[in-house]
Amino acid sequence: MAAKKLNAFYAQSGGVTAVINASACGVIETARKHKDVMGKVYAGRNGIIGALTEDLIDTGKDSDAAIAALKYTPSGAFGSCRYKLKSVDQNRREYERLIEVFKAHNIGYFFYNGGGDSADTCLKVSQIGESLGYPIQAIHVPKTVDNDLPITDNCPGFGSVAKYIAVSTLEATFDVMSMAKTSTKVFVLEVMGRHAGWIAAAGGLASYKGMDLPVMVLFPEIAFNKDKFLAKVDAMVKEYGFCTVVVSEGVKGEDGKFLSDQGLRDAFGHAQLGGVAPVIANMVKDSLNLKFHWAVADYLQRAARHIASKTDVAQAYACGKAAVELALKGRNSVMPTIVRTSSRPYKWTVGVAELKDVANREKMMPRDFITEDGLGITRKCRNYLAPLIQGEDYPPYKSGLPQYVRLKNVPVKKKLKTGFALK
Amino acid sequence: MAAKKLNAFYAQSGGVTAVINASACGVIETARKHKDVMGKVYAGRNGIIGALTEDLIDTGKDSDAAIAALKYTPSGAFGSCRYKLKSVDQNRREYERLIEVFKAHNIGYFFYNGGGDSADTCLKVSQIGESLGYPIQAIHVPKTVDNDLPITDNCPGFGSVAKYIAVSTLEATFDVMSMAKTSTKVFVLEVMGRHAGWIAAAGGLASYKGMDLPVMVLFPEIAFNKDKFLAKVDAMVKEYGFCTVVVSEGVKGEDGKFLSDQGLRDAFGHAQLGGVAPVIANMVKDSLNLKFHWAVADYLQRAARHIASKTDVAQAYACGKAAVELALKGRNSVMPTIVRTSSRPYKWTVGVAELKDVANREKMMPRDFITEDGLGITRKCRNYLAPLIQGEDYPPYKSGLPQYVRLKNVPVKKKLKTGFALK
């Protein structure tokens, strides 16, 4: 008697991106191609929470066309979550529940699509075969706009944010260049990146050989020095008439405190949350008396599938596909990676990393990617970043809007009598 | 003896847009086609300031290819300015100087590309033939993201911002939809529009038949009512699990004060400028205890040529072209307009308006474009807006970035011995 085919569980975790659904598409399409050896793909509604609460989605209920449309749809089609599993020792109950759900639905493959925290969760799940005696193959699919996973050349999701920030910085800098004579002279753009400055670095791509623009970058890796910063703004405005400052949300002062944390109070004395962009802009105004504008890109940057990098989309899809292939080769506790084999022309293949080498390690900007003054990117950084924003991959449009797909997300009938209370 | 061909002066005024250069392209290309009757096109460096200071640019020094590239390059290629001429009575010196410069360079056509204030400037210039005896034909080329000029169906520049805001709202709403289970439930996007809510209204397009999304819009035309607003956020989050709020920078409270003007002070008591988005977001947190994110699009929205509306680009070009044709027909003190002849399918032609009917009149959102509760757009508004964002018109890319052009901007040799001190 042939062994019963095992089903797969797929879930999205953490902050979503413009291309995480392209990875989902890679997982589901590849599983569909291997129907002879892999059963159904069940997605967790809202990530791992879907597994814990037995809230599974039958991806088989969506057509090939709908699944293909995931490749050009931003956000997490099945819902994501911010929920970190503790260790087996600390919360055995959660792992036992996962096994209960996996058993009930004949799940033998666990695909977890996320960043550093999620790699840690995936690693823990990969170990329950050994620790709790339930055979599961857990494969992590890399995803994070922060680009802070180790080993892999870059992280799916990053290339598209980088492209958005590079294009937006270029466009806004052209704008301020037009206005500088009588109006705005300094434009400040706040971008994501609480710990690592990769996204801010992408702003530096807006100025390049043949397109000399005064763009400054503030990284979380470099303690903010107000005097040096203002001196550079002043110098740039004197030379060019204007400048653009791309600032990471996570920039800290020399005291180690977030620059955005200014203890703002409204007229009634209530604490107000602000971004770092207005703080920087106010500094420019108070000290140099220059007219400014500021923007905070926030979710717009990571959701901007309309200007996704073609390279990024291809890599996100390839990682999803590779995850299924690794599973079918019997691998456990691994993550597909992007391996750069050449920078010019950019060539890459898909490799594999052990999850124990990935989890809980953050990859910061190397010091030699940042100019000596701490306010720009080096040629080495440019060579690394430039290929990642290559190529456009436009979604289809109808009536002026991208035709993003919403799946049916049909629930799988529950088999367990017990529920599960999330902590 | 044939009359000497008259030269043309072209200038960009006020806040720039993604397509003002497409109008410049229309002016210059059309003038080049009529070389037999129209002389050179001189552009003002930094708008009207270029005329006052005799800082003219010879657009003839740029190739046909460079001029054609203006069609897909955002910002103001010759520099813009915020500088309003007073009336002839109040500042005769400025008008006399203009005439001096026009005479010196044999300028008989004045094309001014701007919004409401600029239409007023253009009107004043159009009258100097009569008031000061210098024959000039002044034609205004409409441009403003604010969409607040009267008579014309819409203003070149607006359609592209509207498309950017509609697409960004759709994308960010997909993002928050993915995160809502355990994280962000309310996303706030601040958009331009100090007096008129047209840009904010475009956010409402993100939700449509077949794509039901909880998107709320806050207009400057409607006094902000905190209780009604919070009740609607609460209701939307209860029904959908999340919501998006698109808010005009110019929203005012019932006291008539800008909502963004909260008298913010930092920990040292210094006044801080903030946007309205964080104010709204803090309200949501304080009153409903919901997790939020906020973004301020600022210049990104009006510079976003990468996602320009094809309709808008075509109309911007058509207005530039029509301005030259009107001049050659001997018209003065007029502005080409967009005339909507049908909404479905959208059809338009170019008409003409008298400047005296355009200058200093702001077109606000009609009340019946706003839902009764003041927090959304009506079907009538949707029918008006939808055609304006139709079609994509992507710029060419190289190495992942749009190939925007920077012109040579070769100065015209000065002929006057005197300078001019700007007030």
Q: Residue A401 and residue B394: Cβ atoms within 8 Å?
A: no
DSSP state of A187: E
Closest CA to A126 of A114, A137, A140, A113: A137
Q: Is there a contact between B300 and A211 if contact means CB atoms under 8 Å apart?
A: no
Task: Give every CB contact of residue A333 below 8 A, 6+ residues apart in sequence.
Answer: A122, A123, A126, A127, A138, A354, A355, A356
In angstroms, rounded to a whole number, what is the distance separating the alpha carbons of residues A344 and B409?
34
- Say if residues B158 and B388 touch (Cβ distance below 8 Å): yes
List the single residue in A46, A281, A401 with the smallest CB-CB distance to B166: A401
pLDDT tens, position by position, B324-371:
999 999 999 999 999 999 988 999 999 999 999 998 889 999 999 999
Angle at A154 between CA A125 and CA A110, to 5 degrees: 20
**Chain A contact for B115 (CB, 8 A cutoff):** no
Q: Distance from B188 to chain A by nearest Cα, in Å?
A: 10
> Is A286 a known active-site residue?
no
Helices (H), A14-157: 20-33, 48-52, 64-69, 92-104, 116-126, 128-132
Q: Smallest CA–CA separation between B128 and chain A, in Å?
A: 25
Residue A323's identity, in one-letter code, is: A
**Helix locations, A330-419, DSSP H:** 355-358, 379-385
CA distances from B290 to A74, A149, B155, B284, B303 (A): 23, 30, 38, 6, 32
Instruction: Identify the DSSP state of A364.
Output: P
Cβ–Cβ contact B309 with A under 8 A: yes
Cα separation, A173 vs A206, in Å, equals: 8
How far away is chain A from the Cα of B312, in angstroms, using its nearest Cα? 11
pTM: 0.97
**What average pLDDT does this structure show over B4-31?**
97
In angstroms, what is the C-alpha Rg of chain A? 23
Bridge partners (DSSP) listed for residue B335: B353
CA distances to A190, A335, A392 from A199, rounded to whole Å, are: 10, 23, 18
What one-character-per-residue DSSP string does A194-227 give?
A: SS--HHHHHHGGGSBTTB---EEEE-TTS-B-HH
Residue of higher predicted confidence among B159 and A86: B159
Query: What is the distance between the alpha carbons of residues A122 and A145, in angstroms, rounded to a whole number?
Result: 19
> Which B residues 378-397 touch A at CB under 8 Å?
386, 389-392, 394, 397
Token pair listed for B2: 């044939």
A392-401, B85-94, B145-154, range with the lowest pLDDT: B85-94
Structure tokens at B186: 């309310």
Nearest to B174 by CA among A417, A6, A191, A395: A395
Contact in structure between A178 and A225 (CB atoms under 8 Å) = no
* Predicted confidence (pLDDT) per residue in B41-64, tens digit: 999 999 999 999 999 999 999 999
For B359, the token pair is 């200058």
Contacts of A226 (CB under 8 A, 6+ apart): A253, A283
What pLDDT is attached to residue B264? 66
CB B114 within 8 A of CB B308: no
| Mean pLDDT across chain B | 95
Residue B3 pLDDT: 61
Q: What is the DSSP string of B331-386?
A: --SEEEEEEEEETTTTEEEEEEEEHHHHTT---PPPGGGB-TTSSSB-HHHHHHHG
- Coil, helix or strand at residue B201: helix
Substitution target in A300, A385, A399, A403 with the highest count of B β-carbons within 10 Å is A300
For residue A182, what is the nearest residue in chain B, using CA coordinates?
Answer: B81
DSSP structural state of residue B224: B
8 Å CB contact of A181 and B264: no
CB within 8 Å of chain A, chain B residues 254-293: 262-267, 270, 272-275, 277-279, 281-282, 285-286, 293
CB contact at 8 A, A138 and A174: no
In the stretch 341-360 of chain A, residues with CB closer than 8 A to chain B read none
Q: Point out the residue among A168, A179, A397 whose CB comes nearest to the CB of B16.
A: A179
Is B75 within 8 Å of A175 when comparing Cβ atoms?
A: yes
The ipTM of this complex is 0.97
**B34: number of Cβ within 10 Å:** 14
pLDDT given at position A160: 98
Pick A76's closest partner by Cβ from B178, B262, B305: B178
Rounded average pLDDT over B292-320: 98
Burial class of residue B61 in the structure, from the number of CB atoms within 10 Å of its CB (0-12 exposed, 13-18 middle, 19+ buried): middle
pLDDT confidence of residue A319:
98
Of A155, A11, A399, A194, the residue nearest B170 (C-alpha): A399
Q: Closest partner residue to B294 among A18, A177, A298, by Cβ?
A: A298
Q: Copy the structure tokens of residue B392.
A: 């994509």
Question: Catalytic: which of A146, A148, A153, A393?
Answer: A146
Number of H helices, E strands in chain B: 14, 13
The per-residue pLDDT for range B377-413, each reduced to its tens digit, is 999 999 999 999 999 999 999 999 999 999 999 999 9
Testing the interface with B: which of A70, A175, A343 to mutate, by most B Cβ within 10 A? A175
Out of A79, A175, A304, whose CB is closest to B299?
A175
Separation CA A297–CA A258 (nearest Å): 18
In this prediction, residue B1 carries a pLDDT of 43
In total, the C-beta contacts within 8 angstroms joining chain A to chain B are 252
Between strands A243-248 and A346-354, the pairing is unpaired
- Which pLDDT value is given to residue A1? 44
Contact in structure between A30 and A65 (CB atoms under 8 Å): no
Please report which residue ranges of A295-373 form alpha helices under DSSP H.
299-303, 310-328, 355-358
- Between CA B308 and CA A301 the distance in angstroms is 17
Which residues lie across from B208 on neighbouring strands?
A: B211
Q: Which two tokens stand for residue A7?
A: 């089903």
Contact check, Cβ <8 Å, B272/A274: yes
What lies within 8 Å, CB to CB, of B173 at 6+ separation is B187, B206, B207, B213, B214, B215, B242, B244
CB distance B204 to B382 below 8 Å: yes
Structure tokens at B39: 């002389």
Q: Is B76 close to A178, i.e. CB distance below 8 A?
A: yes
Write down the pLDDT at residue B262: 74
| A401·B16 Cβ contact <8 A | no
**Closest chain B residue to A163, measured at CA:** B400
pLDDT in tens, B112-136: 999 999 999 999 999 988 888 899 9
Residues 210-249 of A with CB under 8 A from B: 211
Q: How many CB atoms lie within 10 A of CB A318?
A: 19
Residue B319: enclosing H or E segment and its boundaries? helix B310-328
Extract the residue ranges of chain A whose pLDDT is less than 50.
1
pLDDT-based confidence at residue B267 (cuts at 50, 70, 90): low
DSSP label at residue A19: S
Task: Report the distance separating Cα A286 and Cα B384, nearest Å.
Answer: 43
Q: Which residues are CB-contacts of A275 (< 8 A; sequence separation ≥ 6)?
A: A190, A249, A260, A296, B278, B296
Round to whole Å and give the CA distance between A207 and A199.
Answer: 15
Q: How far is A277 from chain B (nearest CA, A)?
A: 10
Closest CA to B164 of B283, B246, B240: B246
**Whole-number pLDDT of residue B360:** 84
**CA dist., res. B191 & res. B305, Å (int):** 17
CB burial class (10 A; 0-12, 13-18, 19+) of residue A133? exposed
Q: How far apart are CA A362 and CA B114, in angstroms?
A: 49
Residues in A touching B274 (Cβ below 8 Å): 264, 272, 274, 278
Q: Which helix (H) or strand (E) holds A398?
A: strand A397-398
Other CB atoms within a 10 A radius of the CB of residue A140 amount to 31
Q: Write down the pLDDT at residue A392.
A: 98
